């Protein structure tokens, strides 16, 4: 076992007071920088806007670096808001928060050893032939280590950062307050449902025993499906803060841009097919579309599925309503799209007719890949840009203060991630043919 420290390590503030102090210190430094920049601009004869002062490169780096060091909910809420409310946030704030998805530091090895001693007991090293103390991956609430146990099983051990559970609620509130203070979020926009759900999801993700159960449940659903593989949960080495599972080889899926067209198309086809099954057959959806959650095992031609902390169970009625919406999209029936968007809560009668039509238009455009016979070419599509433009126009409407149901937000998060991946891999996939079997599919008789 190696004990060499990494330059990417950072001690995590644990207590509520110390974490709040970090946020207060961050706010003070941002304010100081804004004053300095403001004086400089005034000296030049300019009248700077608060927004421009807030989003200087120095402040953007301060916020993302601070949240990356705090990790946990402080980092995760930034990720969630950037992905789930991106269509109503200014581009600058979305980009600031999106930086957090790829910016995480590992905990010092002394902290790691303390956690493993408390979870596995003194002398836990005897359980393993090899245990790498340097993590192979670090994220918002935990880091992953590679190991080989006495049975010669190659394992991935996910270890949760200390103090994460206890800080979730206060961190979410503190980060939300900081973002609101920026003045970049529309004043009337109600983020409470999203923040409440962020807390609930984070508490679930912080329970690694629950994630282990999700692994087992999900594996049972895809037993007969070829082309996918997921880790096997190892319960006897797992706890609420340590998750042990089999280690699976694979190339990060986002690195396959130069692979053959056939491989890229096959991977994207499998992921969309799996999404249809998740929602319309299993009602069990892994909602985190982070590219790092997918690998490709070229040797066995398998898509490796990782990280089931954000797995959500959906009701049959909700899945049926979403299926109805997509069936309407398949048929290019805007009237029916609007009807089912109302049923899902994407639209409410309280919204103006113009706003309702704008949301219907977004739903219609989102179904565009279902229109095309023979294959949708994501490489040449400007769909995401068109959706961004419509979404931006909608966000500028001062009367549009509607927050969609959280369940739909997580589905759109997953679909958006799949669209981004398909675009990155320049895939061409016949989604219309893939969806046809679901045209007469009914979840509720």
Q: Is 65 a catalytic residue?
A: no
Work out the widest C-alpha separation in the chain, in whole angstroms: 72
Sign of CA dihedral 58, 62, 64, 69: positive
Rounded to an integer, what distance in angstroms lies between the CA atom of residue 419 and that of residue 416? 5
Rounded to an integer, what distance in angstroms lies between the CA atom of residue 127 and that of residue 114? 17
CA dihedral 409, 410, 411, 415 (to 10 degrees): 100
DSSP H helices in 284-352: 316-330, 334-344
**Going along 354-410, which residue ranges are E strands?**
376-377
Distance from chain centroid for Cα 308: 11
Annotated catalytic residue within 265, 288, 324, 407: 288
Question: Beta 137-138 vs 142-149: how paired, if at all?
Answer: antiparallel
- Using a 10 angstrom Cβ sphere, with 0-12 exposed, 13-18 middle and 19 or more buried, the burial of residue 439 is exposed
Distances (CA, A) of 108 to 6, 39, 173, 423: 8, 40, 27, 37
Distances (CA, A) of 355 to 289, 362, 394: 28, 11, 7
Answer for the pair 208, 160: CB distance below 8 angstroms, yes or no: yes
Rounded to an integer, what distance in angstroms lies between the CA atom of residue 169 and that of residue 375? 45
Distance from chain centroid for Cα 302: 22
Sign of CA dihedral 258, 264, 267, 273: positive
Rounded to an integer, what distance in angstroms lies between the CA atom of residue 75 and that of residue 66? 9
* 401 CB-near residues (< 8 Å, 6+ apart): 186, 188, 189, 190
Nearest to 71 by CA among 226, 249, 205, 186: 205
Phi, psi of 439 (to 5 degrees): -65, -35
**3-class DSSP string for 40-84:** HHHHCCCCCCHHHHHCCHHHHHHHHHHHHHHCHHHHHHHHHHHHH
Distance from chain centroid for Cα 29: 29
Phi, psi of 128 (to 5 degrees): -125, 150
Active site residues: 288
């Amino acid at each position: 076992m190696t004990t060499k420290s990494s330059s990417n390590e950072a001690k995590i503030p644990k207590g509520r007071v110390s974490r709040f102090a970090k946020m207060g210190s961050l706010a003070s430094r941002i304010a100081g920088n804004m004053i300095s920049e403001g004086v400089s601009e005034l000296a030049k004869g300019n009248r700077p806007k608060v927004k421009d002062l807030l989003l200087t490169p120095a402040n953007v780096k301060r916020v993302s670096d601070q949240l990356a060091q705090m990790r946990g909910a402080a980092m995760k809420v930034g990720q969630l808001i950037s992905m789930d409310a991106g269509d109503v946030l200014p581009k600058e704030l979305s980009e600031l928060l999106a930086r957090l998805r790829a910016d995480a530091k590992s905990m010092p090895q002394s902290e790691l050893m303390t956690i493993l001693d408390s979870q596995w007991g003194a002398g836990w090293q005897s359980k393993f032939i090899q245990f790498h103390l340097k993590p192979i991956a670090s994220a918002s609430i935990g880091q992953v280590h590679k190991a080989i146990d006495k049975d010669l099983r190659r394992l991935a051990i996910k270890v949760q950062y200390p103090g994460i559970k206890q800080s979730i609620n206060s961190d979410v509130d503190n980060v939300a307050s900081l973002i609101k203070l920026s003045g970049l979020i529309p004043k009337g926009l109600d983020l409470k449902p999203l923040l409440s759900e962020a807390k609930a999801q984070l508490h679930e993700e912080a329970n690694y025993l629950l994630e282990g159960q999700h692994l087992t449940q999900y594996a049972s659903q895809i037993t007969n499906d070829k082309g996918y593989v997921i880790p096997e949960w190892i319960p006897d080495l797992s706890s609420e803060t340590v998750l042990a599972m089999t280690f699976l080889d694979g190339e990060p899926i986002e690195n396959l841009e130069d692979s053959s067209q056939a491989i890229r198309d096959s991977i994207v086809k499998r992921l969309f097919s799996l999404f249809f099954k998740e929602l319309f057959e299993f009602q069990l959806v892994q909602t985190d579309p982070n590219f790092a959650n997918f690998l490709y095992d070229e040797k066995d031609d398998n898509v490796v599925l990782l990280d089931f902390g954000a797995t959500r169970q959906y009701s049959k009625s909700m899945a049926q309503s979403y299926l109805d919406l997509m069936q309407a999209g398949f048929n290019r029936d805007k009237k029916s799209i609007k009807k089912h968007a109302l049923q899902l809560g994407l639209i409410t009668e309280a919204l103006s007719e113009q706003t309702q039509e704008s949301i219907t238009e977004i739903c219609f455009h989102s179904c565009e890949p279902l229109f095309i016979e023979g294959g949708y070419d994501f490489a040449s599509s400007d769909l995401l840009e068109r959706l961004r433009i419509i979404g931006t126009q909608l966000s500028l409407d001062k009367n549009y203060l509607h927050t969609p149901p959280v369940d739909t937000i997580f589905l759109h998060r997953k679909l958006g991630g799949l669209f981004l991946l398909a675009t990155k891999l320049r895939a061409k996939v016949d989604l219309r043919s893939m969806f046809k079997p679901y045209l007469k599919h009914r979840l509720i008789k």
